[in-house]
Amino acid sequence: MAAYTRPILVIMLGALAINFVLNLVSYYSSYTQAAALMQSLSSGNTPFWLELLMVCLTTLLEWLGIIGSYNFQLGTDSTEAMANLNYALAHHTAYGVPYPYLGSSLYNSFANFGGIGLALALLLAMAIVAHSYNEQRMVRANFLPVLFNGNTGLMVGLPVLLNPLYILPAVFLPMVNILIAAFAIFIHLIPTPVYWVPDGTPGPLVAYVGSNGNFVTLLFTLALLAFDVWVYIPFVRLSLAVEGRIREIDAKEDHKDV
């Protein structure tokens, strides 16, 4: 038991320190003000580099268990988004809209499959790599919720929250998706998604619905999802290897105690 005392003490002290800081921030309403600023930067016509920064910040906050500035719906409540929608309705096409690279549209359409950190890609990678009964049961239990953007069970049960093994793909892979999607829009391979998408629409179909059923957009989105799964596979293998090693150490410790 002595071997576990120091890690437990460090975790408890760290949790108390974080809780103190969060309570202090909440007392002075700093978080509310910061969230409002982030929301305004995320939904408006901000520079593209700033949109990418907001995506990284959003996914990092969600990895920490804090709600970020983007939500699960396609953003259609800003002036720029409405201008895009009006253009598409007037010209019967979403190609050539005045604001083709809105952060809210790009993020929710191409960087939010299954919820924050591209949870659907992570779950599919887990289904490919994992072999144990418990791991496959976890995949089956979370598939439908994650497909409809309900990723809480996966984020906590895998876990992904505060797991350093998943911070790189969870935070930076959505940004890569947005860069690829922005380039595809730039070369007119796909149109900018401008139409309203119902809440709960499966992540891979958001861009398809938001582009009024553009079939090329659907194929592009599925290819992007396949790329995300491929990127996640080595991280899942590493995570499973670490978990297996931890179980071996725990078994040895339990044997020594006996």
Number of residues in the chain: 258
* The two three-digit tokens of residue 74, written as one number: 């396609």
Give the confidence band of 114 by pLDDT, cuts at 50, 70, 90: confident
Strands (E), the chain: none
Chain centre distance of CA 248: 32
225 pLDDT band, cuts 50/70/90, is: very high
Where does the pLDDT of residue 62 fall: very low under 50, low under 70, confident under 90, or very high at 90 and above? confident
- The amino acid that residue 112 corresponds to is N
- Alpha helices per DSSP H over the chain: 2-27, 30-43, 48-63, 79-91, 103-110, 119-129, 133-147, 152-157, 167-186, 203-210, 215-257
- Residue spans per domain, the chain: 2-257
The Cα 172–Cα 89 span in angstroms is 34
Query: Side-chain half-sphere of 83: how many Cα atoms within 13 Å?
Result: 13
Amino acid making up residue 60: L
Contact 44, 50 (CB under 8 A): no
Are the C-beta atoms of residues 104 and 78 closer than 8 Å to each other?
Answer: yes
Residue 205 CA to its chain's centroid (Å) = 15
**Higher confidence at residue 246 or residue 158?**
158
What is the per-residue pLDDT across 74-89, written as a single tens digit (0 to 9) for each?
Answer: 445 678 888 888 999 9
Q: What is the pLDDT of residues 115-128, one digit of tens each?
A: 878 999 999 999 99
54 and 103 Cβ atoms separated by less than 8 Å:
yes
**Which of 116-125, 183-192, 246-255 has the least mean pLDDT?**
246-255
Q: Please state, in angstroms and rounded to a whole number, the distance separating the CA atoms of residues 235 and 241.
A: 10
CA angle 7, 11, 14 (to 5 degrees): 140
Q: Among all chains, which residue has been given the structure tokens 């939904």?
A: 43
- Summary mean pLDDT of the chain: 81
